[in-house]
Amino acid sequence: MIRYPTFQPTDNPLIFKFIKNLSDRLIKGKGTGPACRIYPCSEHSISRSQISDEALKVLSRLKQSGFEAYLVGGCVRDLLLGREPKDFDVVTDARPEQIKTIFRNCRLIGRRFRLAHIYFGRSLVEVATFRGGDSNGDRVLENGRLLRDNVYGTLEEDVWRRDFSVNALYYNAHDFSVVDFVGGMEDHEKGVLRLIGDPEERYREDPVRMLRAIRFSTKLGFIIDPGCERLITTLSGLLREIPPARLYDETLKLFLSGYAVQTFELLRRYRLFEILFPETEKCLAREKHGFPLVFLAKALENTDIRTGQEKPVTAYFLFAAFLWEPVRARVEAQIQNGQNEFIAIQQAAGDVIRLQSKTTALPRRVALPMREVWSLQPRFKNRSGDRPFKLLEHPRFRAAFDFLALRASTGDIDPELPDWWEKFQHSDEAEQKKMLHGSNRRSRRRTRFKSSGKSPAVN
């Protein structure tokens, strides 16, 4: 058992106040006492050579200017895992305006959190000021949810404002040590994702942390701490209070990290998917083991493959796959009521995009290509005259064809259709004309059979 010293009043009130504050911080475990452990370079695997030159320049310049500066967050976590960080984040006691004075290549951004972006050509280093816990500062909460948090503090205070313990490790590039206030190194070694502080309070403060828990769990292969896990389903409805624009960004992070299939499964397990894609979830609930689930699983599997191969994945294609079943269901219903297929798909697309935008804001650069991909699907059936050549020239042809092939691979349409188009687009002009001639003959035969009331099998 550790016994903390008790302090008696002195004649000097300033000295007494300093000693009392130090004692309080030690007892609360928020100072440099037993709750804080410093791991020297011999006790961790991070090497200075793994850190980008740009990040090292920022750390060095801040230190030379008389400020504290550390690497923090995902970059430290990933370095400990032996992974190459996507970016390097720096935290300091310098205020945003002071950072801008030190770096001419700096731009201040953000309203909810004031940040400094320091540019080195195409490279970017993000610098944040230590956040504090002063409720009288520029910190705004509404119903427990954090709206603005520009309250500055110390390193010891900053750690308690972070979300997960494994994201609250600070790397000091000057003595090569890792500073740990919350047992993040132990959680890292155990592969546990644990929120700092009271889980319910932290989820209510920012419900997006539930999505981050899913994303980090799949990305890192960590388990979610049971105390944090059991609250997710109960509190999932809090995500409805998050602005749609922010949920759109978080959704892209969830499914473009290379673990889209596992992420989809966890989101459904914890009832978060129905918050992000309510119309799609309704379709999945009606057909639990049918085409919609198979189609989505295949689309996400292809997304993971492309991400793993460092090939681009467009947001509009991803959302087109997520929302295809609600569109398809509406189109089928309208066709049964006598509506033309082309008009039906336009109307269905408009309805689904409007409903989805209430949850995840769909930018125009995403919504319009989605509509085009869906609207081109019926046009693949037309394989006569000049229409196939016109479709080939459409700027969205390739994406629409990939979507058609995806549908065929999961049983939504006959594979013969995408096979024909695959051959047609890679054939020379003479071969294309032969294919069109054969297609026209088959089309006339199908018309004759239909008009005579007989089938090919009967003849």
By annotation, the residues acting in catalysis are 87, 89, 163
The token duo for 139 is 């910190």
φ/ψ of 185, rounded to 5, equals: -65, -40
Cβ neighbours of 135 (radius 10 Å): 8
Q: How far apart are CA 404 and CA 347, in angstroms?
A: 20
Report d(CA 202, CA 196) in Å as an integer.
8
Is residue 51 within a helix (H) or strand (E), and if so which, with residue range? none
The three-state (H, E, C) secondary structure of 299-313, written as one string: HHHHHHHHHHCCCCC
| Longest CA–CA separation in the chain, Å | 113
End-to-end CA, the chain: 94
- Least Cα distance to 157 among 91, 236, 231, 63 occurs for 91
Contact 72/168 with Cβ under 8 angstroms? yes
Burial (CB < 10 A; 0-12, 13-18, 19+), residue 365, is: exposed
* CA–CA separation, 171 and 72 (whole Å): 6
Give the C-alpha separation, 332 to 277, whole Å.
20
Q: Are 405 and 383 in contact (CB under 8 A)?
A: no
Q: Distance of CA 93 to CAs 115, 129, 137, Å?
A: 12, 5, 16
Question: Residue 201: how many CB atoms within 10 A of its CB?
Answer: 10
* CA–centroid distance for 105 within its chain: 28
